[in-house]
């Protein structure tokens, strides 16, 4: 007889050397397998819903964290509360900043001070040990020295000529000066020849 649930009452497998299974045992096994399947499917649905929940799958107090650095707490909730307390007690108060562009700089061990915003555009932050924070805003150091150099900031050959009148063939100051000198020497020679005449 094939094993087709539910098995008739009193049914027994033909005696063999392998098994002796009663209909009640097979029906009980089928019920248990069905219950286990239902439980597994419910668990799978619960896990799928849990994984899909991007808002409230776990409370922060149920998620562990390894204490490190200045954080001593071992749950996310406690670590957040600890950080909030640190910010309130000794964090960086927003009132320290006066306007946009302000920066913080260390003034000593475990101490900070404000580097006020630059007072003009195109300035860069440079080191300056005379300042409390060791920093100040200013022009690029090489650019400042370059702008202050009134005798040798550029070679004449590095400065272009905007020759709107078309007087020179050269496109840079050195070449234009050479042309002027040559023209002046030529004019002086011509004037001397005419004068000696």
Sequential DSSP letters for 82-118:
HHHHHHHHHS--GGG--STT-EEEEEETTEEEEEPPP
- How much is the pLDDT for 1? 42
Answering whether pTM is above 0.75, one says no
Q: Which two tokens stand for residue 158?
A: 């590095």
Per-domain residue ranges for the chain? 1-54, 58-91, 99-148, 158-196
Q: Please compute, for residue 140, the number of CA atoms within 13 A of its CA located in the half-sphere on the CB side.
A: 5
What pLDDT, on a 0 to 100 scale, did the predictor assign at position 10? 60
Q: How many CA atoms lie within 13 A of 184 on its CB side?
A: 6
Q: Is the pLDDT of residue 190 over 70?
A: no
Q: Answer whether residue 130 shows pLDDT above 90.
A: yes
Q: What is the pLDDT of residues 22-39, one digit of tens each?
A: 667 777 778 888 888 889
40-52 pLDDT, tens digit per residue, is 999 999 888 888 8
- The torsion region of residue 97 among left (phi > 0), alpha (psi -120 to 50) and beta comes to beta
> What local confidence, expressed as pLDDT, does residue 41 receive?
92
Give the model's pLDDT for residue 12.
Answer: 58
């Amino acid at each position: 007889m094939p094993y087709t649930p539910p098995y008739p009452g009193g049914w027994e497998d033909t005696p063999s050397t392998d098994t002796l299974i009663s209909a009640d045992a097979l029906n009980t096994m089928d019920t248990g397998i069905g219950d286990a399947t239902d439980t597994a499917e419910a668990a799978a649905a619960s896990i799928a819903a849990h994984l899909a929940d991007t808002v409230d799958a776990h409370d922060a107090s149920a998620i562990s964290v390894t204490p490190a650095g200045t954080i001593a707490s071992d749950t996310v909730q406690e670590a957040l509360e600890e950080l909030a307390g640190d910010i309130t007690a000794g964090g960086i108060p927003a009132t320290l900043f006066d306007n946009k562009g302000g920066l913080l700089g260390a003034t000593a061990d475990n101490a900070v001070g404000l580097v006020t915003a630059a007072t003009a555009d195109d300035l860069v932050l440079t080191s300056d040990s005379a300042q409390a924070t060791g920093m100040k805003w200013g022009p690029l150091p090489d650019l400042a020295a370059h702008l202050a150099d009134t005798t040798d900031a550029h070679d004449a050959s590095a400065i272009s000529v905007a020759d709107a009148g078309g007087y020179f063939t050269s496109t840079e100051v050195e070449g234009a000066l050479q042309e002027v000198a040559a023209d002046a020497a030529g004019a002086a020679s011509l004037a001397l020849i005419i004068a000696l005449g």
